[in-house]
Each structure stands twice: as C-alpha cells, then as structure tokens.
C-alpha cells in the first residue's frame, strides 16, 4: 500500500509539469463505455449493453478548443464524464501528459481532476441552492487546499467573481438571487478556481437566452486567452460550436463520424451525416431559404443498445450500399483525398466520402 501511494505521489508530481502550446495535452484512444442492460431482480443477468461510447479517439492540443457536436443520445456527454473519470471507461485510454487517467485512482486522480474541470449545462441544478456563492466556489479549495491557504480563500473567490464579470460583493448571495447568465458565470468561476489546464464544457450556453449566450461565449473566449486554457466544448448548436472551436468532431451513435478544423467540417464536409446535420440548421437569413441545399433525413436515430451493423449511419443514409452494412468504416482521411492539398482531406468515417458544401449552397 505504501508503495502504491508513493507511486501516486510520483504521478501527481509529473502532472504538475506544464505542456507547451501546440502539443497534445489530452490523447483519447479507442474510448468505450458500455452500460449493461440487466434482467431479473434478485439474480441480475446481463442481457445486453447500451453502447453509449463505442471507440472514440481524438487529441486535444494545448490552448485550443475542440468542439464536439451531435444529436441527443450520440454519447457526447458520456465522453465528457469519461474524460473526468466520473464514469469508468469500459475500454480504451485517455492520456493526460502521458498518464492513462482511466487507470488512476486516489491522489493521482485527484491531481488530474484539479487540472481538468467541468462546466455544466444547467446553471439552475448544478449550483447548490443552500450554499452561498462564496461557499460554492470556495468548496473547491477544501478539496484542494494547496491551491489557496485558508486565510486567502475569500479574497481568491472575490477575485474569481471579478474575473467572470460578477460584482465581488455578491459573495454572500445565494444562487436564486442570480439570473441564468449570472449563474453560468458562477459555474465558470468554480471551473476556473483551481487554475485548470482543461475545461470540459457540456452544453454551457444552451439553457441561456440568446442575448445572454453571446455574453457568456465572449467571456469564455477571453478567459481562454488569459489563462491559456484548452476547452472541450460539447454542444448541439452547430453555429455556436463553429464560432468558438478550432477543431470540431461530429458524433453519431457513440462514434466519431468526422473530425477536422472548423473550415474542414463546415465548408468541406465529406461525411453524409455531417452534411445532413449542417443542412438542417435553420439559417437566420430569409433570402437563403428558397435555394438552400436541404437534406431531410428520414427516421430517427437507432437505439445504441442495438446499433446497425457496419456503418451506424447507414439506416438513414441516402448513399448506403451493400458494403456499408458489412464493413465498418474507419475514421481516417479518405483514400481519394489522401496526399491532396484540399480541405476535404480530413478524417471521415465513410466508405463513400465526398465533398458537398451544404452551408454556402445557393
């Protein structure tokens, strides 16, 4: 046991070393999460599994924002929980500074969590209504006392409130005394409290009104520059994701369908699902509505407990052929674009990847 804790100490120390800009800070490899489906009350036996995340790989670089988009049930929030190790991965690895955090526990895991923080979707349910703002933000220092000594905590919390654009005098107020946008700022202040390197934002603005959304997005961008943060920005709103992200990954039914820079995904999508998703977004421009390239998908997303064989999108895809049901497409640069100097040459998991600009079509 003594050996193990010494090992933890060493790991924790290694995690304190900063990563240079432009280097991967997080490497996710073949990450999987299967939730068991059981039958019976006394003698539970597993009859299947919901494959919420089923083989996801990506890198996150220091100082960048990686957007993850997808419809409800595609597994994007489960990915967030796996990265925080709030859920134990069924298989796969998440390397943070060379350490596989899915295998960590104890002090080493605590050290990781100090550097990877989270901002949640709903600012109404993610703040304890019986705690003051000072206690909500200050609680993080109880768990990680090394960040701020006891005497300094109040001042530190006030500093954080100031950083996120709230009046530091509000420190003794309760969450119900704030509006939705202000609450999300409190959530962000809590996420920042431990000077993390990575913040995972799970739908951080979708509960907010349009006029307040822009304020919070601008704040997040400002903080990123100021503190050199890396964001994983999970959302279903494709316009907001484009605005804030350097790179974007599109998820469908537990897998990444396509990943690339914002221009590669939005201006040169090659996966049919990305194209359908983009074409379905209502654009605030009535001039464009008559001659837009709309792809209306039929049907609903299949159940992740029983996903289609081969390509998961084939049941709703207009290009699907025999090959799609037998062979699972891998996420890679499609062969036809390989080595070419085109923005279509990015990773896409489709046998028949083809460029189609659905956003600008007119």
Q: Which positions touch another protein (CB under 8 A)? A: 71-72, 179, 181-182, 209-215, 217-218, 221, 236, 238-240, 242-244, 262-263, 266, 276-287, 289, 294, 296-298, 300-301, 359-360
Tokens of 89: 């991965």
Burial 298-317 (b: 16+ CB within 10 A, else e): eeebbebeebbebbbbbbbb
Q: Which is nearer to another protein, 238 or 259 (CB)?
A: 238
Q: Which is nearer to another protein, 57 or 206 (CB)?
A: 206
Residue spans of beta strands (DSSP E) within the chain: 24-39, 45-61, 65-69, 91-96, 99-100, 116-119, 198-202, 230-235, 247-252, 255-261, 347-348
Give the integer Cα–Cα distance in Å for 268 and 345.
9
Give the integer Cα–Cα distance in Å for 94 and 22.
18
Least distance (Å) between residue 70 CB and another protein: 9
Asked if residue 33 lies in contact with residue 87, where contact means CB atoms within 8 angstroms, the answer is yes
Least distance (Å) between residue 53 CB and another protein: 18
Least distance (Å) between residue 344 CB and another protein: 17
Give the integer Cα–Cα distance in Å for 10 and 8.
5
Least distance (Å) between residue 278 CB and another protein: 7
Asked if residue 136 lies in contact with residue 184, where contact means CB atoms within 8 angstroms, the answer is no
Q: Which is nearer to another protein, 141 or 266 (CB)?
A: 266
Asked if residue 65 lies in contact with residue 81, where contact means CB atoms within 8 angstroms, the answer is no
Please compute, for residue 179, the number of CA atoms within 13 A of its CA located in the half-sphere on the CB side. Answer: 8
Q: Which is nearer to another protein, 158 or 279 (CB)?
A: 279
Least distance (Å) between residue 285 CB and another protein: 6
Least distance (Å) between residue 216 CB and another protein: 9
Q: What is the largest CA-CA distance in the chain?
A: 70
Q: Which is nearer to another protein, 20 or 72 (CB)?
A: 72
Q: Which is nearer to another protein, 73 or 134 (CB)?
A: 73
Asked if residue 50 lies in contact with residue 87, where contact means CB atoms within 8 angstroms, the answer is no
Q: Which is nearer to another protein, 13 or 283 (CB)?
A: 283
Asked if residue 58 lies in contact with residue 234, where contact means CB atoms within 8 angstroms, the answer is no
CA distances from 157 to 114, 123, 124, 193 (A): 16, 18, 20, 8
Q: Which is nearer to another protein, 162 or 327 (CB)?
A: 162
Least distance (Å) between residue 343 CB and another protein: 13
Least distance (Å) between residue 201 CB and another protein: 15
3-state secondary structure of 88: coil
């Amino acid at each position: 046991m003594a050996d193990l804790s010494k090992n933890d100490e060493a790991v924790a120390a290694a995690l304190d070393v900063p990563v240079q800009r432009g280097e991967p800070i997080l490497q996710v490899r073949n990450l999987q999460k299967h939730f068991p489906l059981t039958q019976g009350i006394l003698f539970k036996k597993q009859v299947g599994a919901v494959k919420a995340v089923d083989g996801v790989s990506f890198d996150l670089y220091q100082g960048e924002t990686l957007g993850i988009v997808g419809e409800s049930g595609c597994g994007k929030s489960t990915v967030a929980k796996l990265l925080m190790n709030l859920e134990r991965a069924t298989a796969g690895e998440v390397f943070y500074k060379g350490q596989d955090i899915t295998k960590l526990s104890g002090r080493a895991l605590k050290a990781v969590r100090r550097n990877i923080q989270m901002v949640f979707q709903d600012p109404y349910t993610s703040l304890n209504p019986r705690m003051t703002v000072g206690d909500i933000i200050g609680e993080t220092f109880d768990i990680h006392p090394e960040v701020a000594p006891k005497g300094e905590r109040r001042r530190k919390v006030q500093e954080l409130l100031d950083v996120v654009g709230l009046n530091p005098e509000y420190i003794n107020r309760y969450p119900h005394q704030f509006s939705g946008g202000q609450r999300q700022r409190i959530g962000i202040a809590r996420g920042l409290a431990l000077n993390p390197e990575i913040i995972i934002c799970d739908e951080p603005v979708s509960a907010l009104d349009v006029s307040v959304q822009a304020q919070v997005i601008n704040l997040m961008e400002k903080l990123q520059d100021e503190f050199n943060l890396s964001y994983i920005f999970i959302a279903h709103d494709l316009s907001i994701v484009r605005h804030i992200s350097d790179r974007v990954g599109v998820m469908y039914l537990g897998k990444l369908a396509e990943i690339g820079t914002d221009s590669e995904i939005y201006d040169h999508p090659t996966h049919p699902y990305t194209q359908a998703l983009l074409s379905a977004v209502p654009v605030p421009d009535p001039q464009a509505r008559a001659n837009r390239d709309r792809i209306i998908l039929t049907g609903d997303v299949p159940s992740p407990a029983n996903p289609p064989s081969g390509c998961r999108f084939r049941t709703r895809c207009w290009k699907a052929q025999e090959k799609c049901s037998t062979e699972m497409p891998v996420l890679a640069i499609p062969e036809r674009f390989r080595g070419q100097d085109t923005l279509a040459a990015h990773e896409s998991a489709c046998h028949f990847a083809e460029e189609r600009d659905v956003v600008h079509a007119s």
